[in-house]
Structure 1
Amino acid sequence: MLADALGIPVSWPSSARPPDGSELILVACSGGPDSMALAAVAAFFARRGQLRVGAVVVDHQLQSGSGKVALDTAAALRGMGLDPVEISTTSVLHAGVGPEAAARYARYAALDEVAARLGAGTVLLGHTLDDQAESVLLGLARGSGTRSLAGMPKRRGIYLRPFLGLRRAETLAICAAEGLDPWYDPTNSDPVFARSRVRTRVLPFLEAELGPGIAPSLYRSARILGQDADYLDQLAAEAYSRLAEHQSGHNGQPDANETAPDSEIRLPEKALTALPDPIRQRVVALAVVALGGQQPSFERLLAADSLLQRRGSAGPVELAGKVRVYRQPRSQAVPHDPSSYGKLVFRRRDGL
């Protein structure tokens, strides 16, 4: 579990102390059962001297009384012996995304800021096997690809999910054993939210109709798909690194500021066409993200892919996040920049 995830040796003596300057680990704690159970387990290892553990409580200010919940949670965490414990108050901005996504963006921004300021190398998240199963079902409902169906990774950057193989019922048992009184977020059972409906209606229905074990099966599928997605992403990253031509400034002209971000990326048509579909589409997505755009939908990727078939328009095709792509055919005279011939040109639309 946590010891395995962090590489803590089983033989570590209980009297051992972490060396001075050892890495700080933070628990992201909402006050709910999952994150409180995680904090309790982390506190156990901290008391044994095997970890240096603090915590962050993010107050999204979305509910009446959220400030008191944050204060009570922080007090409980300090009572476990965690130090430092910080409350990060944030505002959730619905900038073209749903409320759940907006809250998630705000939460991670807050956690990133506190971790950087305190010099924490790892932030522990309390997601469980049940959360993973819900993520897979939501991905299926959206018609998502391999990466989305792989669910949440166990580790991404500084974020670690040591409870990802644990059932939600087990975190409740930990809270009961430790005498904790966790907070129960009312939005977790609010049918307004898709994840809440999956949790309270869809998964219980599937369990009743198909038999027990649905959540572990979805979790197992996510692990298998995660391995596939990692391999495909690796191949795509290698292809992108080999093919991408980066241009700063505008109209293919170098910018006087050498540190200016790319405003244009070019990918050769012939080499792109030779790539297998899943690799080619990932390479296109990497170009979009590299220009500051968002991960394109499958439909937008297919629209960009159609430029390579040379059956219609040469573009531009609008992609996510103010990025567009067009085909620069060799037959079209472009006196000022002949180097773009026979390539897909991705351009960021600044100021739009």
Structure 2
Amino acid sequence: MARIPPSVAAVRQAVRRAVPPGLVLVACSGGADSLALAAAARFVASSARPSSAGSGSVGSGSVGSGSVGLVTVDHGLQPGSDRRALDVATWAREAGFAPVEVATVSVAGLPGGPEAAARTARYDALSAVAARVGAAAVLLGHTRDDQAETVLLALARGAGPRGLAGMPRRRGIFVRPLLDVGRADTRKACAALGLVPWEDPHNSDPAFARSRVRGGALPALVDALGPAVVANLARSAEQIAADSAALDAIAERAYSSDTLDVSDLSGMMRAIRTRVLHGWAKSLGCSGSALSHRHVEALDALVTGWHGQGAVHLPGGIRVARVRGQLVRVPD
């Protein structure tokens, strides 16, 4: 029997470890990362065997036979993007994926820059398709290199622990099986399998911050510190994520009402207090993506730097003031 190339084996093993039972969808742009992920998911699905009970189910970490579909999103941001999406869908149907969906989205009017708007539209579309077909998970092709880039961008933006924690392996229905797999391996896997990936021109466009990190900053770090820096950055993200999750859990137990007592807050360690304030603001209706460091700092100043200042304005038109020793939401 022919030996499986190490790159192909690495991607398949990552999929086996991460993917839950039931119908899963692969989000596939046609690039090397998502194409290698899709091929591995299809292989794992087709090679899975029914359990001894004969129910056709498989153990945790495997997908059942025939239970992998594919979604490709057309953002409409590049000439020929509709043709590219149709080509990916055609390949998927011929390879045995079911269902196969092309989701066409518009980024017009969405908040943030082009990257943020496209991401919002993409995730909304993937969530909608998953809900419609009853998928247990949507697989995303982010690799260890993507995670390292995310950490560097977070450092540059002063994002704090939440940003430095990088991309989670799972959030809701979204699963990232390849966070321990390098981008070089996905490219090698595609070559070994005879798959020709699409090269997204945005990935090398210096107009985008991530492209500059990918093409310049991260390679410079590798040159200066050695190739292990990529894995080390990704591992640091995982460690920070674990610590942040523990601190968040402690903070969640520290508030349970629409008001916060200043005397309770002032006795907390800063790492806990700021998390309490962040979580409380979200419970009032603030969008987590819009709630920034400066908003939390302003709330914290009501506790630790009180000198009679007025209400803090939070996203969504929410105002918070200190009233008789408590932080309360006040009307406009």
TM-score in same-fold range (> 0.5) = yes
How far 1:348 moved relative to its partner?
7.7
- For residues 17-58 of structure 1, the C-alpha deviation after alignment (integer angstroms, 9 at most, x for no partner) is xxxxx7211001111110010000011022224521001111
- For residues 58-90 of structure 1, the C-alpha deviation after alignment (integer angstroms, 9 at most, x for no partner) is 111111111001000111111221100001111
Q: How do 1:82-231 and structure 2 match up within 5 A?
A: 82-231=97-246
How far 1:320 moved relative to its partner?
2.8
Q: How do 1:306-317 and structure 2 match up within 5 A?
A: 306-309=301-304, 311-317=306-312
Amino acid at match of 1:283: V
Amino acid at match of 1:197: R
Q: Secondary structure at the match of 1:120?
A: coil
> Greater CA radius of gyration, 1 or 2?
1
- Per the alignment, residue 256 of structure 2 pairs with 244
How far 1:233 moved relative to its partner?
1.2
TM-score where L is the length of structure 1: 0.82
The separation in 1 between residues aligned to 2:121 and 2:185, in whole angstroms, is 28
- Per the alignment, residue 248 of structure 1 pairs with none
- Per the alignment, residue 319 of structure 1 pairs with 314
The separation in 1 between residues aligned to 2:308 and 2:115, in whole angstroms, is 38
- Per the alignment, residue 300 of structure 1 pairs with 295
- For residues 291-312 of structure 1, the C-alpha deviation after alignment (integer angstroms, 9 at most, x for no partner) is 3313332222121111123632
Structure 1 pair 234/175, CA: closer, same or farther in 2 (3 Å)? same
The separation in 1 between residues aligned to 2:326 and 2:41, in whole angstroms, is 52
Moved more, 312-321 or 226-235: 312-321
How far 1:192 moved relative to its partner?
0.1
- Per the alignment, residue 346 of structure 1 pairs with 329
Amino acid at match of 2:18: A
The separation in 2 between residues aligned to 1:166 and 1:3, in whole angstroms, is 13
* 1:291–1:348 contact (8 Å) kept in structure 2: no
How far 1:347 moved relative to its partner?
5.1
How far 1:286 moved relative to its partner?
1.3
**Identical-residue share of aligned pairs (%):** 50
2:284 paired residue among 284, 291, 295: 291
Amino acid at match of 2:314: L
Q: Please, which runs of 5 or more residues in structure 2 have no aligned partner?
A: 1-13, 49-62
- For residues 232-265 of structure 1, the C-alpha deviation after alignment (integer angstroms, 9 at most, x for no partner) is 11111121xxx332xxxxxxxxxxxxxxxxxxx3
Amino acid at match of 1:345: V
TM-score where L is the length of structure 2: 0.87
| Deviation beyond 3 Å, 4+ runs, structure 1 | 93-96
Amino acid at match of 1:322: G
Q: Secondary structure at the match of 2:163?
A: helix
Moved more, 123-132 or 178-187: 178-187
- For residues 147-186 of structure 1, the C-alpha deviation after alignment (integer angstroms, 9 at most, x for no partner) is 1101001111111111110000100111111111111110
The separation in 1 between residues aligned to 2:331 and 2:172, in whole angstroms, is 26
Q: Please, which runs of 5 or more residues in structure 1 have no aligned partner?
A: 8-21, 246-264, 330-341
CA RMSD of aligned residues (A): 1.6
Corresponding pairs, count: 301
The separation in 2 between residues aligned to 1:63 and 1:200, in whole angstroms, is 21
How far 1:124 moved relative to its partner?
0.5
